[in-house]
Amino acid sequence: MEQENIDIPDELYPLALLMDELKHDEFSLRISAMKKLQLIAAALRQERCRDELIPFLEDVTQEDEDEVLTVLAEELANLVPYIGGPEYSHLLIPSLETLSCMEEPVVRDKAVESINRICEGLPSRDHVAQTILPLVKRLSSAEWFSSKVSATGLYAAAIRHCPTEAVPELLKQYGELTRDDTPMVRRAAATHLPAVIEALPAEADSPEADDEIYSMFKAQVGDDQDSVRLLSVNVLIAKAEKLKRQGNSQHTSSLIEFALALLHDPSWRVRYMCADRFEKLAESLTSVVPEEGVEKTEVDEMERAFVPEFIKFMQDGEAEVRTAVAKQVPGFCRLVTPANLDKIVANVEELSQDSSQHVRAALGSEISALAPLLGKEKTIETLLPTFLQMLKDDFPDVRLNIISKLHLVNKVIGIDLLSQSLLPAVSDLAQDKQWRVRLAIIEYIPLLATQLGVSFFDKELGPLCMTWLWDSVYSIREAATQNLKKLTKVFGVDWAKDEILPHIIVVAADSNYLYRLTALCAVTTLIPVVDESMIKTSILPFIAELINDPIPNIRFNVAKTYTELVRALHEEKISSPEVIEEICTSTVIPHLERLSTDGDVDVRYFSTKALEDIAEIKKAHA
């Protein structure tokens, strides 16, 4: 590490004052001082930092608040450049060792992170052997569980950087932690074992090391604590993936047996973890993962074992397990042959009618991804009826999840068939009594518009988009104006001129002031995406009509609209500077000056502010 060049502010002097802050009774001041440790170290220089600051910090670790110690644990690794570089890193170890033994988990975790950072920065494997390995051994053999828990987080970095001959001893120590009497230690060991497996260098990956890992994993699968057993799912995946990368398939059968033991576990928490990682688990154990768009033709050992278990999980007695496995349906189906895919899909309809709304919602978010796997004919035959049924679900999230992934179905069966079968359901959702459902449909409309094309959209969904502008809920009206802006980007300015603006302008004469205000907001939102012609021929006359509106709220919003108009003309480069100046001189400025003498105080304020803002905008773009 190289020492950073840090400008030392004047307040760092005298240093004694800052050292006093580290001893202050108010812990918030001590936290602030801890965050300045790099500045203090830079001011002290390397020798004084080693001789004075480090011993002082060792004393701090004995008696301070957890919040202060957390900051200290994080900052200690940053001091390496200021004490003379990695060769002096061993001076930081005593403080970090003390912090890694604390009862507060956050302090311990930060200390472990810092030790791992120091380990990564050490210049050689011999330095790691001298600095880190003794620490790992001391923590692993300590009596109190907190030290052992911290030790489990150090093994991966230590194994990655230590001399190869030290690896067997480290694995043996780690194996003892996986069989510790304390469940917290076993849980920590199970949590970090995948990283340890990944860290094992090729030269240290001997049959003895493999047997040691296998022994640890076996102990975890048979642990009497389900909180340990559920973590062994990640260990199994890590081990299987490493064997696959090495081209070693000799342990596949035994790993599948362990996987089946976990899949049959009596604890729902273990089954939930299996269900949640089912695709990853299956992929790590399958012999060949098919490429995208290529059918799998050969049934392997994993598939024979896992397909029946997957179907059982879809019928599990715990809703949490069914919810987790519903999210895995398309991912797992990608790994199986068409015959087994049909077996799984046959159970999807039952899952779509599950008594738990969360299961149905989870399936709704994933079921569309089955369409590319099934192909057009089977999607129409098996999935479309399920889609239609789920679009009528009482739970809004189910309906929304189906709608949000419709583009996947569209790619397979085509927009014509999709629109015939599903668009009526979309129209129903667009008028749903739940305003959040309507809001979600509005946000999906631009994507649907891209898929449908302009002619079909105008016929089927165009009227709905205008209806939302006059919704009773403000959030719907606001979203509807943004929707029109997005649709203009999709279909173009000419479409907006013919299909949107005429409908909005008609409302300007409406007796309901809320309609007129919404129309003004819609026009304001459209300004950045239209052209000069539309502004001159339609938008400016529309705004001009509203400067005489009897409602002050509308008149001062006219002033705001003029500001946005001038800003958009400049920033979006809609017109030339000469045309912009002509619009300002002939229309905008005179109208704002008139409104600035209005009888209403709010109208006068916003009009005057608009004149000032426009002057600033013109000045910035002069």
Report d(CA 399, CA 436) in Å as an integer.
12
Which amino acid is residue 138, in one-letter code?
A: R
Torsion of CA 161, 166, 169, 174, to 10 degrees: 0
Instruction: Check: CB of residue 577 under 8 Å from CB of residue 584.
Output: no
Q: Taking Cα atoms as reference points, which of 324, 369, 361 lies closest to residue 345?
A: 369
Check residue 290 and give its pLDDT: 67
For residue 463, whether the previous peptide bond is cis, meaning omega lies within 30 degrees of 0, is no
Check residue 123 and give its pLDDT: 87
Check residue 291 and give its pLDDT: 67
Give pLDDT tens digits for 291-308.
Answer: 666 666 667 888 899 999
Give pLDDT tens digits for 517-547.
Answer: 888 999 999 988 888 888 888 889 989 888 8
Instruction: Write the DSSP assignment of 387-443 as a string of letters.
Output: HHHHTT-SSHHHHHHHHHTHHHHHHHH-HHHHHHHHHHHHHHHHT-SSHHHHHHHHH
Q: Position of tokens 């509005």?
A: 442
> Residues 6 or more apart from 90 whose CB is under 8 A from it?
130, 131
Residue ranges of the domains in the chain? 7-122, 491-621
Mean pLDDT of 230-258: 85
- What is the Cα Rg of the chain in Å? 33
Confidence of residue 36 (pLDDT cuts 50, 70, 90): confident
Report d(CA 522, CA 530) in Å as an integer.
12
pLDDT of residue 208 exceeding 70, the answer is yes
Mean pLDDT of 489-504: 86
What are the tokens at 325? 């496995």
**Residue with more model confidence, 296 or 562:** 562
Instruction: Write the DSSP assignment of 196-264 as a string of letters.
Output: HHHH--GGG--HHHHHHHHHHHHHHHT-S-HHHHTTHHHHHHHHHHHHHHTT--TTHHHHHHHHHHHHT
Which amino acid is residue 500, in one-letter code?
A: I
What are the tokens at 171? 């694995």
Mean pLDDT of 310-329: 94
Confidence of residue 510 (pLDDT cuts 50, 70, 90): low
What are the tokens at 595? 């409104």
| pTM for the whole structure | 0.74
What does the buried/exposed string (b/e) look like for 76-92 if buried means 16 or more CB atoms within 10 Å of the residue's CB?
A: bbebbbbbbebebbbbb
Choice among 58-67, 378-387, 495-504, 596-605 with the minimum mean pLDDT: 58-67
pLDDT of residue 7 exceeding 60, the answer is no
Instruction: Check: CB of residue 539 under 8 Å from CB of residue 527.
Output: yes
Helix axes 252-263, 301-314, angle to 10 degrees: 10
| Superfamily designation of domain 491-621 | Leucine-rich Repeat Variant (1.25.10.10)
pLDDT of residue 417 exceeding 80, the answer is no
Mean pLDDT of 472-497: 89
Check residue 205 and give its pLDDT: 65
pLDDT of residue 5 exceeding 70, the answer is no
Confidence of residue 204 (pLDDT cuts 50, 70, 90): low
pLDDT of residue 21 exceeding 80, the answer is no
Check residue 10 and give its pLDDT: 47
**Residue with more model confidence, 275 or 42:** 275
Report d(CA 557, CA 605) in Å as an integer.
11
**Residue with more model confidence, 407 or 577:** 577
Report d(CA 321, CA 262) in Å as an integer.
13
pLDDT of residue 60 exceeding 80, the answer is no
Report d(CA 114, CA 100) in Å as an integer.
10
Q: Taking Cα atoms as reference points, which of 270, 277, 375 lies closest to residue 331?
A: 277
Check residue 237 and give its pLDDT: 93
Check residue 454 and give its pLDDT: 82
Which amino acid is residue 79, in one-letter code?
A: L
Check residue 293 and give its pLDDT: 61
Which amino acid is residue 127, in one-letter code?
A: H
pLDDT of residue 3 exceeding 70, the answer is no
Under CATH, which number does the domain 7-122 receive? 1.25.10.10
Cα torsion angle, 486, 448, 294, 291, sign: positive
Fold agreement (7-122, 491-621): yes
Check residue 19 and give its pLDDT: 67
- At residue 258, φ and ψ (nearest 5 deg) are -65, -40
Give pLDDT tens digits for 179-198.
Answer: 999 999 999 999 999 999 99
Instruction: Check: CB of residue 431 under 8 Å from CB of residue 471.
Output: no
What percent of the chain has pLDDT above 90?
A: 36
Average pLDDT value for the chain: 85
